[in-house]
Each structure stands twice: as structure tokens, then as C-alpha cells.
Chain A
């Protein structure tokens, strides 16, 4: 049914550019996440799709038809707001029935639908309560049910889990995923939490300052980030970024020169290497430990090497290395990512020959 498209869509608030020339296509039944730091325009994108805001420029298309001028009430979009936005003056049941009130649904049908949806999100026992008598998780379920009851073509979730505590977040994560799969409704989840995005969505749209940085699967965002921002935003603990310069066939970083090959162009680069891909060994890059952070089942070390500060993870319950201990850092040279420092773009076709 609904394949959804944004064509060159922008939204300006005076001088602020909340969404900047965004192009995007969603397939039917797809679950995508918009991931980005707060203030990057995620909510604005959702509200543009819902019709609450009108785009400053560009077209929004549902099934190929331009719908810029279609009223929100006619778009058949279900939305769960970050605050849940339950109607405080109505019981849960009335909240659920509200969207059907404006359609020609008979009373019995509406109630049957409400029961059905209440069962799906497991709020059958709460129907007579007022929103103020619900816990955060329950409010969230009600909001979800209310968004789903009209069988929307598009479901929009604005940071739905951010107000929940950690365990509840975990359950709701799989709940939302289950419900989405059951109903096969095209869904956009907005989040600033990469774990939420990677665990729930088929594809992730990584956003920064109103622009799309990369649209890809979680794995590709992690392995082959297109830009420095994506590399640094995805992955925890964050990727090591080291400034350097490519000089013919050498990478100059700090006091160290490392050989590179491929179609090298002399330029300033930033190299990225994930902490979990570094280990220690007999040989490699000499470094000394400057910080030790136990993180539960793993230890995060920071080591000062000649190319710069590098963090790496070791899966031991107790720190095996001591502060100021001298180690040799090992990594597969192929795992090292090169970015053009100026443009932030990843440089393909350049690889490190040796990491030592």
C-alpha cells in the first residue's frame, strides 16, 4: 500500500533549519528508525509526515501522490508522541475510541475494535482508568493502541521508550517489534538511542543537523559508516578517531608513519578504529595504559600510543593490565577506516598495510 517518499523536503523555523533537503523512500511494511542526537530534526520529520507541520520546500508523497496539502486528519497516520499525549479528560477506552469518532464507525464496531486492539497491546484491564492513574509503561501502551486503532497506513513513534525505566524499555522494545510485525504497518521510530534503533529497525536513518547522514542497516552503519559522524554516533563505546595525514604511501599520525596502499591522495584524514577490534599482543603498536574503566563484563582501557589515544576493550571480569603498563596494540589493518577530515566522508579504496 503506502510507500512513502520525501523529496527534497525542508522545514525552516525562521533562521533555524530543522530539516534540510531530505530525500527518503520507505517501502511498504518496513520498520525504519531515525537515529540522531537531540535537536537534529527527528521529531520535525515525523510531524511533517503526519501533516502537523507543512514543509518549507519539497514534496511529501504517499503512494506516489503528492500529499503536502492533505490535512493531518485525512492522512491516516498513527502517531505516538514522546509525552504520549493521552487525552487527560477521557478514560482509556474513550482515548481509544477517539480516533474512530470522526470516522463512520458504528458503535459496536468501534467497541469491538477497541477490545481487539486493547488485547493486542495488553491493556484490557485498564480501559476504565483515567490516564493519570496509569504508569509510564501503561500510558505508552495506551498511546500505541490509540495510534493503531484506526489501522494507519503509517505509524510514527517519537522516542516512545525514552520515558521508561531500563527493564520496561527492554520489554516494550520487543513488544513494539512484535506488534509491528503482526500488523505489518509501515513504521518510523524516532530515537536518539542507537541500541533501540539497531534492535528494532530494519533500516536506520542516521541524521545530523537536519540532514540525512546515512540510510542503511545497523550492520552497515557499524561496519561501513559513510561519514565520521555516523562512525562516532553508532557503536558503544565510541570509535577511536585519530587525526592524521596521508603523505603519498604513508599515513602520518602523531609521531608515527604507517604504510598505506590503494588509490591514495595526499590529504588530511581521520582514521577510525573500533575499541572492540583492538587487542594486545607480543607485537604491534607500543602504548602505555593511561586509564582503566571496568564496564561489567568487560574492561575499557585507554592507552596512549604514538599515533594518539586509543581505547580498547578486553573481556575479562577483572583488569588484567595495570596503569602505566606498556603493551603492544594489535588490530587487523583492514578494520581501520579512513575519513576525509575536511568533508567528513569516508575514503574508499585506501587500506592500511600494517598496524604497528
Chain B
């Protein structure tokens, strides 16, 4: 039996509707499950800009949510009803405008930057307590920031370059003990590095790097290496031999072939492990505290801890502001390099 034009239209409309409903359900589901994840972040953010000394004003949060939640729901509706990107963008712009106005009206007078004074004020603790605490040498946040940057960046540099070279050799060369080496790499992943805190402390003590930033840098480099080597080996495995051989018959030395032809194929992997490595170093707390005996160096994680521990009970606002400041670099890095990170499927590269 032949279907008429009208029948086809009905079928098409039905499947379009089904798709819309499914999409709506999916978006709704994802929104609901992401609330517990997003809400704390949002809360910290709001607190950091609104809390005044003495306590936390949850009313601000609820008022902000009262503006934001309807806006998000409205956008979902806009997204589902309009198919053209133009209209969606227009809808989003209008909603953002409304949210701005709504936020200014509802919470505008509660917002302030006072909690962020730690960025400019080197003597935060004395300010709050009238006397130095934490052994009398609580640092300025920028000192901790620079130290954290140093730890994260240099350990990343080391582990990425070592992992790249090792991954290449493991992928390309058949040497004695290669498979044993690979198995060892995997076995090392089984143990959590914190189990090794005491031996690591002793080793660092013996080589005299206690209370020195070089200690955590070294340890962080070593801890991530097995996994990173494995990832890089996967990426190199996916680069065909032919290309390299071709480069070598084209007049390149092995090193030149590596640099000009192989390395560009594994950039995705290098970027991915760099981001992971950097964030690992940026977030590190256990080893930076374990490898110092006093307050010899400060990094962001210890700074945050002491703000919370030493000062806290006093000012949630400052703690939240430090948290936001601490989170920002990781968040930015993730946002900019998110696409590279999703390629991290152990050697899954597509050119």
C-alpha cells in the first residue's frame, strides 16, 4: 500500500516530536544529576562575593538561585522550541540580560569584594586576629601562588618530557626487559602513592631535599610517571611505523624523524597529560605537607588549609574567596583544553 504525502508528514512529525521529548528528558535528567555537583561550586562562589564577617548568608544563595533556575529552565524551553541557532542565541542573550537585571535587583546590594582583600593584603592574619598565627609566618597568597605554579609547572615539564621519551622508546624499540618494564608500570598503578609517604619522606630526608620545593616536585614527577608513560606509549603505538621509516629514507635521522614527523602526531596526548599533570601538581596537598617540617614553604593547598583551619570559625567569606582563587587556574585550563582532554582514550588519536 502506497503512503500518501500526508502519511509521510504525519510520520515525520511524530518522529520529530519523539526526538524533542527524548532530548528534553535527557537534558532534564542531566540537569538534575549535575545539581549536586554544581551547587557547592556555585555556593562557594556566591559566598565569596557576599558573606560578611560573622556568618554565611544563605538567603543570598537562594535569591540568586531563584533568578538562575527559572532562567535555565527557560533556556531549555527556548532550545527545544527553536531549531535555528540564530533564535537560540537571541533567546540566550535575552535570558542573560534578564538574569543580570534580576541578580542586581535581588542580590546586588549584598555583593562586595571585601573577602578578596587577601590578594592585596600581605598581613591577612594579623588583620583578623591582631596577632600572627601559624607559627608567626603566614605568607602572602602570592607567595603560595608562585610556589604552587612552580611545583605544578616544573613537575609537569619533567613528567611530560620523560613520559614522552619513554613512551616512544617503549613503543618503538625491542630491548631486553621491555615487557617486564611494561608490567611493572601497570603494577605500580595498583598502589596508591600515599602508602609510600613514609619511605618517600625518608628518601627525601636522606638526599637532603626536605623543606625544599624540589622535594614535592621530584615526588610528584615520579608518582605520575608510570601512568603517563603508558598513555604516551599508547599514543606512539598509534603512529604508523611507515611514516617514520619514510622520513628516514627521506634523509632524516631518527631524531629528526621523531621531531618532525612523529611528535606532531602525539600532540593531543602531550597536551592531555600536561593538563592532568599540571592540575595534579596544582592540587597537591599530601606530599607538600609531608615533606616539610615547619612552614618552610607555602603552596596554595596549604595556604587554603591554614586559612580554613587557623582563621576559620571566623570568616567563611575569606575561605570561600581563597577557594575560588585556588580553583580558577584549573578551571580555566580545563575549559580551554577540554577538547584535547576528551581525546585521552589511551592512544586513540585521530588526525
Contact = CB atoms under 8 A, between A and B. Distances in A.
B166 interface: no
Question: Interface residue tally of chain B, by bracket?
Answer: 10 to 19
Given A81-B242, A83-B242, A89 B249 contact: no
Contact of A146 (B242, B248, B250): B250
Contacts, number: 66
A102 B256 contact: yes
B26 to A, nearest CB: 32
A72 B249 contact: yes
B72 to A, nearest CB: 39
Nearest to B251: A102
Contact of B243 (A72, A77, A85, A103): A85
Interface in A64-93: 71-73, 75, 77-79, 81-83, 85-89
A89 B260 CA distance: 9
Interface stretch (A44-52, A203-211, A222-230, A232-240): A44-52
Given A102-B256, A132-B351, A85 B240 contact: yes
A98 interface: yes
B245 A102 contact: no
A37 interface: no
A102 B248 CA distance: 10
A98 B248 contact: no
B240 A77 contact: no
Interface string A46-66: 010011100000000000000
A42 interface: no
A52 B351 contact: no
Contacts of A77: 249
B351 A99 contact: no
Contacts of B251: 73, 99, 101-103, 150
Nearest to A89: B264
Nearest to A149: B250
B249 A73 contact: yes
A52 B247 CA distance: 11
Contacts of B351: 88-89, 132
Given A102-B256, A132-B351, A87 B249 contact: no
A47 B245 contact: yes
Nearest to A130: B351
B249 A52 contact: yes
B67 interface: no
A52 B264 contact: no
A342 B256 CA distance: 52
Contacts of B250: 73, 98-99, 102, 146, 150
27 contacts: A52-B245, A73-B249, A73-B250, A73-B253, A75-B249, A77-B249, A79-B245, A79-B246, A79-B249, A81-B242, A85-B240, A85-B245, A85-B246, A87-B243, A87-B260, A88-B243, A88-B264, A88-B351, A89-B265, A98-B247, A98-B250, A98-B252, A98-B260, A99-B250, A99-B251, A102-B251, A103-B251
Interface of B: 240, 242-243, 245-253, 256, 260-261, 264-265, 351
